[in-house]
């Protein structure tokens, strides 16, 4: 009788350890598990560094949100500038850790900047090529381009993307030990 109880106990203990492993394997193989990435912007991989793009980084050690000002700044461009300003403001006490920058290229529409007070940096051709699609890009304190928020189809989506940028930026600032 004790032999049967021992076998039964051993079987139950084995099942306690084997069943979770089998269930995990099943979930992973059927892709029922959603990965842990919670970022809402597009990760840039591999992420180029400002030095690789031959761009001088005057804000080394600080996070940066950059936008390349196009030659003609239409309503969508104005919306981008507004989101850049509001995202920086929404960071509250962490504002001093982040620099919103507008990059200028030859022929940039400077009149679009009149309602705003951004720090301006002259972009070189390499980084201009990277930012040609009017994306907002987050640059980490080491100078790597980390995350991108491309231009969207509607103003409503732009506003949602602005909220996503703020959420991602807050997470990165919280987890960052530098900048």
HSE-CB at 36 with a 13 A cutoff on CA atoms is: 0
Q: What is the pLDDT of residue 94?
A: 94
Rounded distance, CA 90 to CA 43, Å?
A: 22
Q: What is the pLDDT of residue 100?
A: 96
In this predicted structure, the answer to whether residue 57 has a pLDDT above a threshold of 70 is yes
Q: What is the pLDDT of residue 1?
A: 58
What's the full length of the chain, in residues? Answer: 179
The model's pTM? 0.77
Which residues contact residue 40 at a Cβ distance below 8 angstroms, ignoring those fewer than 6 apart? 161, 164, 165, 167, 168
DSSP string, 102-118: EEE-TT--GGGGTT---
pLDDT tens string 109-166 = 999 999 999 999 999 998 988 888 888 999 999 999 999 999 888 888 988 999 999 9
């Amino acid at each position: 009788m004790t032999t049967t109880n021992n076998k039964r106990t051993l079987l139950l203990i084995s099942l306690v350890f084997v069943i979770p492993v089998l269930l995990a394997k099943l979930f992973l193989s059927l892709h029922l598990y959603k990965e842990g990435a919670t970022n809402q912007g597009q990760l840039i991989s591999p992420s180029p560094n400002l030095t690789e793009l031959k761009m001088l980084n005057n804000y080394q050690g600080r996070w940066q949100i950059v936008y390349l000002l196009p030659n003609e700044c239409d309503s969508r461009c104005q919306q981008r500038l507004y989101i850049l300003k509001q995202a920086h403001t929404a960071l509250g006490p962490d504002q001093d850790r982040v620099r919103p920058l507008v990059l200028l290229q030859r022929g940039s529409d400077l009149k679009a900047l009149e309602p705003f007070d951004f720090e301006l940096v002259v972009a070189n051709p390499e980084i201009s090529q990277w930012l040609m699609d009017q994306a907002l890009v987050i640059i980490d304190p080491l100078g790597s381009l980390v995350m991108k928020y491309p231009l969207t189809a509607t103003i409503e989506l732009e506003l949602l993307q602005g909220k996503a940028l703020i959420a991602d930026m807050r997470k990165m600032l919280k987890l960052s030990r530098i900048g």
